[in-house]
Amino acid sequence: MNASTDALSTGALANSSQVPAELLDSIEVGIAVLDRNFNVQVWNKFLENHGAKKAEAIIGDSLFSHFPEIEEKWLRTKVDPVFNLKSPVFIIWEQRPYLFKFACNRPVTCAAEYMYQNVTMFPIVDKDGNVERFCMLVYDVTEQALGKQGMEHLNQELKTASRVDGLTGLFNRRYWQERFDEMYKLCVRRDKPSTAVMLDIDHFKRINDTYGHQAGDKVIKMLAALIKRCVRETDLAGRYGGEEFAIILNDSTVEDARIVAERIRQLAQRLVVEHEGESINFTVSLGLAQFCSAFKGPLAWLECADKALYDAKESGRNQYRVYDTSQR
């Protein structure tokens, strides 16, 4: 509750006819007084201007008959403590963006369609100590709400930027490694099969030397998009460096991984990257290593997949190889 709220004591509103009209109409807060049946008794200029409802048109009527967007059952339940406990009730925009569907009064500069509102409702106690009416204060908090949302959006963008590789949209190496370390620990605890896959683009230097680095970037982006299509949300895919990618196929045996690896290999082989009138074909090699409890740590697991990748390249490229974990 801000200073404007403090200036309006419960006593001052106990007899609304004694409240100067100038005060009710000059304050930049919506002020309404309602009885137990939610019939309107006071409706100030702020509410007139934003609600397009003149006081003479709404006073004596039910609030719900003029604002059908308000859920009657919900609001009656919300206001119960005001009457039964003589306790104030607060509605904040984070819980419900608005009570009244007022249009934003800054349509050119405001990104919101409707006014964000904080609402305070407090009892008006009569001289006998009874509560037959309550006061509703409506605050326009649109600027604060949009500012907070903008900051949260910016923080989310910064968070994403710190995790994602700018070229491919896959996880960058640092964040991928963090997640991989967590998945390794989970594999140790659960002793369930998961398989690491390392892959890179065959003769990538030749592509860069022949067609230029922009063409190489296009190839990397297209391969990354292909990888995204071939893995599940529960898997972990990232750009490990340059033209090299790393994938953890969660809850997948090496036999399951063979299917995924072969799909990636075949689809990559069919891809054609167009760059400045040139058509570029490429292939990939892959190395697979299933989790083994004998691994000394996550790095050891990844090294096994990398050794299998080396074997695939040594065997002629455009293929996958599986690390034999029985060697450990």
Active site members: 243
Contact 161, 228 (CB under 8 A): no
Q: Which residues does 36 contact at the CB level (< 8 Å), separation at least 6?
A: 83, 132, 133
Measured CA distances, 206 to 67, 242, 268 (Å)? 69, 14, 17
Neighbour order of strands in the sheet with 89-91: 40-43, 30-35, 131-140, 117-125, 89-91
Query: Cα–Cα distance between 309 and 311 in angstroms, integer?
Result: 5
Collapsed DSSP state (helix, strand, coil) of residue 24: helix
Place of tokens 């890179």: 200
Instruction: Dump strand ranges (E) for 233-283.
Output: 236-241, 244-249, 273-275, 278-280
| Token pair belonging to 13 | 């509103």
Burial of 55 (0-12, 13-18, 19+ CB in 10 A): middle
